[in-house]
Amino acid sequence: MNKDFSEHIVLQLQGSVLFGPNFHYLAIKSLLSLKLALLILVSAFLVHFAPVAKAETSTLPSVSTSSQGITRQQGDAILQELRSIRKLLQQQQAQRKGKVRKRPTSAKIKLGEHAALGKDDAPVSMIEFTDYQCPYCKRFHDTTFPTLKEKYIDTGKLRYIAMDLPLSFHKQARIAANAALCANEQNRFWQMRTAMFKNPRKLMKEDLLGYAKELSMDVDAFAQCMAQNRYAKRIQKDINVANAAGFTGTPSFVVGKNVNGVVNGAALIGAKPLADFENQINRLLPKLSAAAD
């Protein structure tokens, strides 16, 4: 079916008893895409007009040209209406895509009782929202995090805070997030985190219990915490905080200043190169030093 013929069929329905004058409103409010609109309307055309056409053929062997179709003026008006509908639908699609693609450039995050590395009063704070099944999170921890720890965390310049953003399509991500928090009860958060990032495809219950044993943890206590899904609400709260800030993927970061338990700063999304993080950290360090003087 060519484009012009499709337009002709679709818009002919606007004047039919099936849709009537509300066709434009219904199309804009209800249809998700132009293709879907065409599919629905062509189907409706066949259902509505085919029986009529058949009846007319059998009972009226001689039908005038004007009764079989529409005038050129009507056709032009119909085609103009379809173009208007198509334009509006395309605008709506563009708007939806724009909303999905728009990424935050800054964020303000209120801290809770999260695992952290570095001095409490470090001049710069960095929050990571992570997913233990995320390959980009693993890449960040394999390539970038060790240098950040050595240059900034261990030297007292950076406070590093871990928060959770398990993605819905990673089936073991929430379980892994809960495992890390259960390990935190025994001061093994960062060790468990490292073990899970080394083995992102081995996050089943037996795997996690195995890591706990390797880390000399009380495995029974850890297993009980896991079975109770003890930190489910806390993980969901982290997800809500991340989504409210505009973060929907991992890893996502905020690098800024901590003022009264609220980190306000630049947002970085993805496994960025080390230089991107260093630029944000170093940009804040001189300003904070100058302000202190």
Residue after which a domain boundary falls, among 101, 135, 152: 101
228/161 same-domain check: yes
* 198 and 62 in a common domain: no
Residues 213 and 255 in one domain: yes
- The span from the CA of 247 to the CA of 269, in Å, is 8
Instruction: Provide the CB-side half-sphere exposure for 218 (13 A, CA).
Output: 9
| Statement to judge: residues 249 and 281 lie in one domain | yes
Rounded Cα distance, 143 and 147, in Å:
8
**Last residue within a domain, chosen from 81, 101, 121:** 101
How far is Cα of residue 162 from the mean position of the Cα atoms in its chain?
A: 20
pLDDT at 73: 76
Sheet holding 252-259: strands in order across?
Answer: 106-110, 262-269, 252-259, 124-130, 158-164, 116-117
pLDDT confidence of residue 103: 85
Contact (CB, 8 A) for 128 and 136: no
The three-state secondary structure class of 285 is helix
CATH number at residue 149: 3.40.30.10
Closest alpha carbon to 127 in 140, 139, 114, 143: 114
229: left (phi over 0), alpha (psi -120 to 50) or beta: left
Total domains present in the chain? 2
Residue 57 domain boundaries: 3-101
Tell me which of 66, 101, 136 is where a domain ends.
101
The CB density around residue 77, as the number of other CB atoms within 10 Å, is 14
Q: Are residues 126 and 161 in the same domain?
A: yes
Helices (H), the chain: 3-12, 23-30, 34-59, 65-68, 72-101, 135-143, 145-148, 173-184, 189-198, 205-214, 219-227, 232-244, 274-292
- The packing angle between helices 23-30 and 72-101, to 10°, is 20
Integer angstrom CA distances of residue 50 from 17, 44, 53, 54: 14, 10, 5, 6
DSSP state of 116: E
pLDDT at res. 154: 98
121 and 80 within one domain:
no
Q: What is the pTM of this model?
A: 0.66
Same domain, 28 and 44: yes
Is cis: bond before 251, omega within 30 of 0? yes
Q: Are 158 and 224 members of one domain?
A: yes
166 and 54 share one domain? no
Pairing type for strands 116-117 and 158-164 reads antiparallel
Contacts of 127 (CB under 8 A, 6+ apart): 109, 111, 161, 163, 253, 254, 263
pLDDT of the chain, 293 residues: tens digit per residue: 444 444 444 444 444 444 444 444 344 444 445 555 555 555 554 544 444 444 444 444 444 444 455 677 766 766 776 776 777 777 767 766 655 557 899 999 999 999 999 999 999 999 999 999 999 999 999 999 999 999 999 999 999 999 999 999 999 999 999 999 999 999 999 999 999 999 999 999 999 999 999 999 999 999 999 999 999 999 999 999 999 999 999 999 999 999 999 999 999 999 999 999 999 999 999 655 555 54
Regarding whether 163 and 192 lie in a shared domain, the answer is yes
Sequence-ordered list of residues with C-beta below 8 angstroms from that of 113, at least 6 positions apart, any chain = none
